[in-house]
Amino acid sequence: MKQMFLTAAVLACATVAKAEVVAPGDVQFGEYGAIEASLSGVPGNADSGLEIMVTRGKGNCIACHAVSALEDYPFHGEVGPSLDGVGARWSEAELRGLVANAKMTFDGTVMPAFYQTTGFNRPGNAFTGKAAEGELDPLLTAQEIEDVVAYLMTLNEY
Amino acid sequence: VFAIASAAQADEEADLVVNGEIEITVRTSAPEHVDGLRDIYSGWVFRSDETQAMQMDDFDNPGMIFVEEAIEAFNTVEGSEGNSCASCHDTPENLAGARATHPKWNDNAEEIRTLGMQINGCRTEQMGAEPWAADKGDMLAMEALLASVSRGMPVNVQIDGPAEAAYELGRELYYTRTGQLDLSCASCHEQNYGNYIRADHLSQGQINGFPTYRLKNAKLNGVQSRFRGCVRDTRAETYAVNSPEFIALELYVASRGNGLSVEGPSVRN
């Protein structure tokens, strides 16, 4: 019974999400790189966002950023600034823009764009070293971006 | 705070002397043609104390086993002409300096040759023997032998004259972002050397230590295979070993290390 309920709930979510998803090419960035509207139309889940942040095959954000709240997950990199306090430093819309495509906020930054599918030089098929076939998927889905943003909003202490 | 979560720290101030006698320049001023760096550092500087120590004595350097093997190959006759390397070059020591100057323009072949290409040139043209596969066992062992006899000599790759076109192409490739992660060599090895990326302590990606014995895969590794790994990690389609692009990139990256000592076979993680 519980199982059935969960499946139904997931399906319902998926349907809603599908209806509201903004495709990578349709994202509206503000003048300074912020994205006002949710990319999925479904509120982000901070717990899932945390998992994405620390998982290699997903956001792998801690490869470049230290986060005190994620101390239990090794190893933290130093390529980007510490993310402590980003929830206080930036608005939700600004954080959404930063995760989707940080180059719209910081021109030329080394931070990869997590919601972009075109405009790359020699795009590969994931980490195989071979050429990509067909259209690229964004590094994170619309909902995964929303989840990461929800987690970042919890980082409001220095 | 994150020192705890970081991998083993390196002693970035340490000096390298091999076998108590071969002084290795692991840090010096950047060559004039490199705009983005003030000083250049060998990758050895960024490795952990334990990994650094393995390169200080040939008995502790696992790469030296392959050097021994290659000495035998050097003296072994192969191919239709009845020659070994020793027939023309006498001893490996006679080829001291070759590692320091390759890739370089070869007048007879009218092409830029990496050290491996030159070895195969001698095998096919001078010995009538089969070429060795690039970046594989026999070839890497011979490259390790030729590097070992050049240890301590400054890398001195020519970038002008007939090398200029390759230099320009290599330079462009070095700064071109690739793949879905949209990163160039410079993103990691010029802008971020000294920083950790996840558990990896980023070096300048210098190639004065090649071939490198990597603890990770317990064998010798070639320069261009290393490039392939790094390009693949940007989620890009890589170039092939010995493609014109990678030959040019090897020449350019080697030239960024002009002034560091040859130190191969080196030990890396």
For residues B11 and A110, the model is more confident at A110
- Provide the pLDDT for residue B1: 30
How would you write the pLDDT of chain B (269 residues) with one tens digit per residue? 333 334 456 678 899 999 999 999 999 999 999 999 999 999 999 999 999 999 999 999 999 999 999 999 999 999 999 999 999 999 999 999 999 999 999 999 999 999 999 999 999 999 999 999 999 999 999 999 999 999 999 999 999 999 999 999 999 999 999 999 999 999 999 999 999 999 999 999 999 999 999 999 999 999 999 999 999 999 999 999 999 999 999 999 999 999 999 999 999 99
- What are the tokens at B131? 């070429």
Minimal Cβ distance to A121: which of B178, B191, B195: B178
Which residues of chain B are within 8 Å of residue A120 when distances are taken between CB atoms?
Answer: 178-180, 182, 236
Number of domains in chain A: 1
Write the CA distances from A129 to A135, B171, B225, integer angstroms: 16, 21, 12
**Would you state the pLDDT for residue A59?**
97
| Burial grade of B221 (CB within 10 A; 0-12, 13-18, 19 or more) | buried
Q: Is the pLDDT of residue A5 over 90?
A: no
pLDDT of residue B12: 82
Residue A63 sits in a domain whose CATH number is 1.10.760.10
- β-sheet bridge partners, residue B261: B154
Sign of the Cα torsion B120, B125, B129, B130 reads: positive
Pairs of residues, one from chain A and one from chain B, whose beta carbons lie less than 8 Å apart: 94
DSSP-assigned beta bridge partners for residue B260: B258
Is position A147 within any domain?
A: yes
Given this model, what pLDDT does residue A18 score? 52
The per-residue pLDDT for A4 is 47
| Residue at A2 is within a domain | no
Measured in angstroms, the CA of B137 and the nearest CA of chain A are apart by 22
Range of the domain at A41: 29-117+137-158
Hey, is B187 helix, strand or coil?
A: helix
pLDDT of residue A20: 85
Instruction: State how far the Cα of B265 lies from the Cα of B61, in Å rounded to an integer.
Output: 8
Tally of CA atoms within 13 A in the half-sphere of A79 that contains its CB: 28
Domain for residue A77, yes or no?
yes
Q: Does residue A33 fall inside a structural domain?
A: yes
pLDDT above 80: residue A23 = yes
Residue A47: its pLDDT value, please? 98
Q: What is the mean pLDDT of residues A59-79?
A: 97
The minimal CB distance from B235 to the residues A75, A76, A127 is found for: A127
Query: Within 13 Å of residue B189, how many CA atoms lie on the same side as its CB?
Result: 23
In a domain, A56, yes or no: yes
Kindly report the average pLDDT of chain A as a whole number.
Answer: 91
Cβ pair A63:B182 closer than 8 A: no
CA of A132: which chain B residue's CA is closest?
B237
Which residues 60-79 of A are in CB contact (within 8 Å) with B? 60, 62-64, 66, 68, 71, 74-79
What is the structure's pLDDT at B4?
34
In this structure, which amino acid lies at residue B242? N
Complex-level ipTM: 0.93
- pLDDT value of position A8: 46
Q: What is the pLDDT of residue A2?
A: 44
CA distance B72 to B59: 18
- B6 close contact with A: CB closer than 8 A: yes
The H or E element spanning position B138 is: helix B137-148
Identify whether B122 is a catalytic site residue.
no
From the list B85, B122, B188, B230, the catalytic residue is: B230
Over residues A57-80, the mean pLDDT reads 97
Is residue A158 included in any domain, yes or no? yes
pLDDT of residue B16: 97
Whole-angstrom CA distances from B170 to A156, B143, B164, B247, B251 are 45, 22, 10, 8, 7
**Pair B26, B16: CB distance under 8 Å:** yes
Dihedral angle over CA of B46, A68, A46, B180, nearest 10: -20
B-proximal residues of A, 44-63, CB under 8 Å: 60, 62-63
State whether B198 and A121 contact (CB < 8 Å): no
Global confidence as pTM: 0.94
- Does the residue A123 lie in any domain? no
Asked whether residue A18 is assigned to any structural domain, the reply reads no
Q: Which residues pair with B200 in a beta bridge?
A: B197
B254: Cβ–Cβ under 8 A, 6 or more apart, which residues?
B102, B103, B155, B157, B207, B208
